[in-house]
Amino acid sequence: MLTAHQQVFLQALEELDLAQVKRLLAEGLDPNFIAGEKGPAVSVWSDTLFQWWEEICEAYEQGNALSTEEKQQKLQVHLDILDALIAAKANFHLWDAEECYGPLWDAASAACVPAVQRLLDHQVDPNTKDEEGNTILSSISDLFFDCDFDTIDWSQALPEERETLELLRSRGAKMTKELN
């Protein structure tokens, strides 16, 4: 059973209420808890990245790609919350049965290079395997392009997709077949 503060914290994460997140963490709330169906609090945060990514994709589809500054502006609250979670010593290695990989997988599947970078800098393992034995690099390559990393046609990639996968690769992420 979640405490009232934990429930308010989850709601603040979902609503991207940075002030509330910071207030609760400053009051000593431990962000390392798992909320039944929602999973770890850090996964509640990482799920919000999909809102950002959907907005980016919609802009591309409409032929009105957002500028780098617009993307950054829309992303900033997500990154500020991530920084607050890191400062509060949140465990980004937590994941449950509903999560393929947890926050790193979520950030990568949302093609969110700055969040992937921060999580990798925080030593989140890019070679975690899911229950099917797939690594993040193979899983995200398949998600974006229906193939493994080494056979991607980069001319079909959005800049964020390419940057995300290349960042993972440059930081030691392997394809599933490289680890078997």
Mean pLDDT score across all residues of the chain: 93
pLDDT tens-digit readout, 30-47: 999 988 888 889 999 999
Q: Which domain holds residue 140?
A: 4-179
Cα–Cα distance measured from residue 152 to residue 150, given in angstroms and rounded to the nearest whole number: 6
Return all residues near 155 (Cβ < 8 A) that are at least 6 apart: none
- The pLDDT assigned to 95 comes to 61
SS3 1: coil
**Residue 51 and residue 71: Cα distance in Å, rounded?**
12
Span 72-122, pLDDT tens digits: 999 999 999 999 999 999 999 866 555 556 899 999 999 999 999 999 999
Q: Output the DSSP codes for 109-122.
A: HTT-HHHHHHHHHT
pLDDT at 98: 53
- Answer yes or no: is pLDDT of 172 > 90: yes
Residue 135 β-bridge partners: 129
Structure tokens at 124: 């989140």
| Contact between 31 and 92 (Cβ < 8 Å) | no
CATH number assigned to the domain comprising residue 174: 1.25.40.20
Angle between helices 159-170 and 136-145 (to 10 degrees): 160
Number of domains in the chain: 1
